[in-house]
């Protein structure tokens, strides 16, 4: 009798196996999948690089070309979502994408290269143009020169001014 | 690759120092809910019977000799399915002293020993969903298409126009022409250059 009941139960319940690769599957609302960098919003500040626990996000600078690269290696990402939390410009988001299997390692990289701003006095690139632009828009006009000169030059100018003032 | 494995793909599950998160997901892929066996994918007990190795973990130094022996035992042509962030790129342990950090480092050692580099499928995730593992194994069999693509974006040179040129010039003028610091700044720029 007992076995018959189990059989009836199973017949009522039907097939439990998902038809996954043949049909798409729904993921939970709070699922954290592949992170994607929005290339229009990213300014290359590097906040996500500081926050990333496994160094899946790295920052590299090509000073000769004047380009700053933000590299995201999905093969090392642990999907914690800290980059999304700290990004000041909402430029990085975790999507619900989980079908990330690839046959080559190169397909796991997302690289964003941003042009760097060169200091008008010493000519050395020190930050991205987008970041300078964002800061300039927020600052009052009298404080803008502070941003447009690189920290090294600024330090030296301040020192020169002070030493002159003392004499 | 698809032509090599038209028939059933037998998988040997190799744990190389993983935290067991990925291992549990591998086992989940073989439960009735996901049921990898309907595609002929089967877990086997010996690498000699296997076509593919499901490799989890960042490959610890302790595990390395056994991993090499297991890989040697798999008959050619063989596939390595690197499951989880640790096996793909080292994960959170990528710069640890006691691990190799991913299959790429393992292949460097294998090449020194004269062993051919096997076909590899990377399944990132920490841990990957059972469906993602199933997807990875089916990608090795050639039953599904690859969705993930690498992306490189480099900003064009016209980005320099975003900041007003006159503003930069005026700042330069201001610094260079100010009576207080002109001489000093010239000295400074000569030092910097």
User: Residue A73: helix, strand or coil by DSSP?
Assistant: strand
Least CB–CB distance from A120: residue in B128, B147, B168: B168
B131 touches chain A (CB under 8 A): yes
pLDDT mean over A113-120? 88
How is residue A47 written in tokens? 């906040």
CB-based contact B11:B81 (threshold 8 Å): yes
Residue indicated by tokens 């994918």: B41
Q: Flag if B131 and A106 touch (Cβ within 8 Å).
A: no
Query: Which is more confidently placed, B77 or A85?
Result: A85
Question: Hey, are the CB atoms on B157 and A115 less than 8 Å from each other?
Answer: yes
CA distance A103 to A101: 7
pLDDT at A82: 92
- Asked if residue B158 lies in contact with residue B55, where contact means CB atoms within 8 angstroms, the answer is no
| Cβ–Cβ gap B188/A67 under 8 Å | no
Q: Which of A27, A75, A157 to mutate to test the interface with B (most CBs of B within 10 A)?
A: A75
Write down the pLDDT at residue A91: 92
Confidence (pLDDT) at B191: 56
Residues 101-140 of chain A whose Cβ lies under 8 A from any Cβ of chain B: 101-115, 117, 120-124, 129-130, 132-133, 136
Q: Which two tokens stand for residue B128?
A: 């990957």
Residues of A in contact with B150 (CB under 8 A): 106-110
**Whether pLDDT at A161 is above 80:** no
Cβ–Cβ contact B174 with A under 8 A: yes
Which range, of A22-31, A118-127, A154-163, B48-57, averages the lowest pLDDT?
Answer: A154-163
Residue of A nearest to B30 (CA): A17
**Residue A65 pLDDT:** 87
Q: How far is B13 from chain A (nearest CA, A)?
A: 17
Rounded-to-10 torsion of CA B67, B73, B77, B80:
-20
Tell me which chain A residues have a C-beta less than 8 angstroms from the C-beta of B174.
145
Mutation site for A-interface testing, chosen from B164, B188, B193 by largest number of A Cβ within 10 Å: B188
Mean pLDDT in order along chain B per 10 residues (193 residues)? 70 91 91 88 91 91 91 89 91 89 89 88 91 90 86 85 79 69 59 52
Residue A7 in this model has a pLDDT that exceeds 70: yes
Alpha-carbon distance B89 to nearest alpha carbon in chain A (angstroms)? 5
Encoded tokens for B180: 């207080």
The tens digit of pLDDT for each residue in A33-81 reads 999 999 999 998 989 999 999 999 999 999 888 899 999 999 899 999 9
Q: Decide if A76 and B90 are in contact by the 8 Å CB cutoff.
A: yes
**What mean pLDDT is predicted for residues A116-145?**
85
- Rounded-to-integer distance, Cα B139 and Cα B80, Å: 12
DSSP string of chain B, one letter each residue: -GGGGSS--EEEEEESS--SHHHHHHHHTTSTTT-GGGGT-EEES-GGG-SEEEEES--BTTTHHHHHHHHHHSPSS-EEEEEHHHHHH-GGGTT-TTB--SHHHHHHHHHHTTPPPPEEEEE--SSPPHHHHHHHHHHHHTSS------EEEE--GGGGGGS-HHHHHHHHHHHHH-TTTHHHHHHHHHHH-
pLDDT beyond 60 at A165: no
Nearest to B11 by CA among B83, B86, B81: B81
Whole-angstrom Cα distance, residue B19 to residue B124? 15
Nearest to B85 by CA among B151, B13, B19: B19
Average per-residue pLDDT for chain A: 87
How close B153 comes to chain A (CA, Å)? 5
The number of beta carbons lying within 10 Å of the beta carbon of residue B30 is 19
In 3D, which of B129, B2, B7 has the Cα closest to residue A24?
A: B129
Half-sphere exposure at residue B123, Cβ-oriented, CA atoms within 13 angstroms: 28
Among B95, B105, B125, the strongest candidate for a mutation testing the A interface, having the largest count of A CBs within 10 A, is B125
**Closest among B68, B56, B67, B49 to B10, alpha carbons compared:** B49
Cα distance from A68 to chain B (closest Cα, Å)? Answer: 9
């Amino acid at each position: 009798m007992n076995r018959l009941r189990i059989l009836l139960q199973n017949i009522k319940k039907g097939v439990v196996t998902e038809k996954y690769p043949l049909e798409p599957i729904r993921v939970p609302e709070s699922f954290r999948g592949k992170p994607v960098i929005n290339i229009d919003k990213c300014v290359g500040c590097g906040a996500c690089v500081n926050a990333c626990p496994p160094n899946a996000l790295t920052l590299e600078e090509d000073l000769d070309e004047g380009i700053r690269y933000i590299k995201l290696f999905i093969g090392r990402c642990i999907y914690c979502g800290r980059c999304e939390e700290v990004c000041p410009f909402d430029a990085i988001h975790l999507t619900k994408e989980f079908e990330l299997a690839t046959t080559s390692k190169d397909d796991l990289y997302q690289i964003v290269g941003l042009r760097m701003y060169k200091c008008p006095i010493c000519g050395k690139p020190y930050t991205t143009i987008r970041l300078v632009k964002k800061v300039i828009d927020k600052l009052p006009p009298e404080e803008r020169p502070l941003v447009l000169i690189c920290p090294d030059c600024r330090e030296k100018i301040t020192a020169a001014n002070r030493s002159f003032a003392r004499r | 690759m698809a032509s090599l494995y038209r028939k059933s793909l037998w998988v040997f599950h190799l744990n190389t120092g993983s935290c067991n998160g990925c291992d549990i997901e591998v086992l989940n892929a073989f439960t009735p809910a996901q049921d990898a066996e309907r595609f002929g994918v089967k877990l086997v007990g010996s690498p000699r019977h296997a076509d593919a190795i499901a490799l989890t973990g960042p490959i610890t130094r302790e595990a390395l000799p056994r991993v090499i022996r297991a890989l040697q035992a798999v008959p050619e042509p063989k596939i390595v399915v690197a499951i989880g962030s640790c096996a793909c790129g080292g994960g959170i342990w990528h710069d640890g002293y006691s691990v190799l950090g991913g299959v790429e480092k393992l292949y460097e050692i294998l090449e020194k020993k004269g062993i051919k580099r096997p076909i590899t499928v990377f399944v990132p995730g920490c841990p990957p969903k059972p469906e993602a593992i199933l997807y990875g194994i089916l990608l090795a069999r050639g039953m599904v298409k690859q969705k993930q693509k690498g992306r490189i974006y480099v900003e064009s040179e016209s980005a320099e126009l975003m900041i007003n040129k006159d503003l930069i010039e005026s700042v330069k003028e201001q610094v260079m022409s100010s009576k207080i610091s002109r001489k000093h700044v010239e000295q400074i720029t000569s030092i910097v250059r």
